Chains A and B, each alone.
Chain A
């Protein structure tokens, strides 16, 4: 009550408090990311857990990534073919599909799909461990929960995101070929040669850097939300976990798109 009364007297108190809370959370998240990164390189003893996480985040996501990659490539192939054919430029179909996929769509789409499939599971798993005192139990056993729980997920994300993005690229290029060449009749040789000639090393490198950054951001946000789920005011227990999971997915998607813009500006 006293706080509210004080707020009405001080101008901009409410927006300032919101800003402070956001800065506080961003600071906490940054420190969380740094600690987990340090633990990734310090904790080689976690190899078995890391491999298990690679299987969960990477291997089990292959089918979803393949499906999304295929349909994204097919749509791109179709749309670009109609647009380019109107100007007699359907020879550039491969260029269009390859550049849009490698530079933008593959890293972003793969990251968003992985957020939905693996990121939400990370938040829920860590959140449930938090509310059922499993994280406290690790602390009491003198086992660093960040090293035991977060570091393997971080290592697996940093490995899986770029590999799955590369896989997305391959399938999407094939999807573009399927619609552009096989269904709509563009020249096959021209399609593949334009793919080959238009793609520069910088494009591929840029796509990989993006996917690496997205992996880092998604894993940080999702693990952070789960790890601190008990501090969420007004939402304790299972409700807090569901709230954290929703928040993690929404924040990750927004951050992926924002980071994509920043990285695109910096890389090209």
Chain B
């Protein structure tokens, strides 16, 4: 197996939040190059906020972010542009531009940043659309696609510049289990094909168990765990245990049934309604 040349992503003493109010403090984490890392945690634990900070969509309150060993805050604008152009992002709902057809959405980065001829651009775009199984949908507008198709179109756009790093924000949210599994497999396939570092924000622990090489668990305003999924599964830490057990319960949960007292109450209500009806008659 050949060694990956994809860059690693490292955070040092990173404090992130909104308007000076920290959400997660003193993060010292690393996403290894060429691996699939997952950021997991409960709602409001700061997963998506961390992603926005890594992507420089929001300034960090304190600390540094390194991509491929380069401190993002020390880079010149030109160097930052270079890194951006080799970074792909799959947003939660695809974030396709509604006024453009799928083909134009996917072609946009190529048209903006390269001097390729139009026929070359269209060839690359069609290739990426075929990769994600949307070769037939090139001429459609985003509002004519289903949720899963929009995400796959977003993935095609994220891959069109041959990125070295791909970030995905909750790629399987809102999808049924079959489609979620399909998208997971597609992401894995793309990671191997493009030799990328991939960082996925998710609350889907089935995806985490199936795909992740490396896991970062956020909660209580800090990083609770980082390491391999195997080590996480064996942890004795009570919070982590509770988190994993809850996830396992959700996976194996039996069909919800009404407790006996609820059944009695419902029967009583139904009986009284029926007797009211009789009275009216």
Interface residues, chain A, CB within 8 Å of chain B?
128-129, 132-134, 136-143
Contact = CB atoms under 8 A, between A and B. Distances in A.
Given A129-B98, A140-B55, A141-B108, 18 more contacts: A132-B95, A132-B98, A133-B92, A134-B95, A134-B96, A136-B52, A136-B91, A137-B91, A137-B96, A137-B157, A139-B57, A140-B87, A141-B84, A141-B85, A141-B109, A141-B112, A142-B109, A142-B112
A128 B108 CA distance: 20
B98 A134 contact: yes
A133 B93 contact: yes
Given A139-B57, A142-B81, A142-B84, A133 B91 contact: yes
Interface in B53-97: 55, 57, 81, 84-85, 87, 89, 91-93, 95-97
A143 B109 contact: yes
Nearest to A136: B57
B250 to A, nearest CB: 27
B113 interface: yes
Contacts of B108: 141, 143
B97 A137 contact: yes
B84 A136 contact: no
A129 to B, nearest CB: 8
Contacts of B55: 136, 140
A136 B95 contact: yes
Nearest to A231: B19
B93 to A, nearest CB: 6
Contacts of A141: 84-85, 108-109, 112, 157
A253 to B, nearest CB: 27
A174 to B, nearest CB: 37
Contacts of B112: 141-143
B157 to A, nearest CB: 8
A81 B247 CA distance: 81
A143 to B, nearest CB: 5
